A = this chain, B = another copy of it.
Amino acid sequence: MVTYPLVVDLVFRALADPTRRALLDALFARDGQSVQALCALVPEMTRFGVMKHLEILEGANLVTTRREGRTKLHFLNPVPIQQVADRWIGKYAQPFTRALVDLQTDLEHRTA
């Protein structure tokens, strides 16, 4: 059994949670946000929950931070995502697969 490098594992685990993906999306839309600002985007959860998710993202190196006075700013680092895309996903996302996707999409839209 092939065991993938730590970075692949950390990133996949980090991306497994929808809240964490949403946080990355938020930083993609607007980089360098504070904890507060990010909390506002996930009103169904307390600040503590959001902070834990941010920790995990930081642990996977998907987010970097910088303190600015009493606030902490969060920045997106897409490099690990790209690496996982290269090292693992790329194997499955090939031209042939793309053709399959198009075919399946086509079939799904034929309501006949």
Q: Which residues of A contact B (CB under 8 A)?
A: 1-4, 9, 12-13, 15-16, 18-19, 21-22, 24-26, 28, 41-42, 44, 78-79, 81-86, 88-89, 91-94, 97-98, 100-101, 104
Interface of A: prevailing SS:
helix
Q: Would you call A85 and B93 a contact (CB within 8 A)?
A: yes
Q: Which of A9, A12, A86, A88 gathers most chain B CB within 10 Å? A: A12
**What separation, in Å, do the CA atoms of A83 and B81 have in the docked complex?**
16
Chain B residues with Cβ under 8 A from A26's Cβ? 1
Chain B residues with Cβ under 8 A from A92's Cβ? 24, 28, 78, 81-82
**What separation, in Å, do the CA atoms of A78 and B90 have in the docked complex?**
11
Chain B residues with Cβ under 8 A from A100's Cβ? 78-79, 82
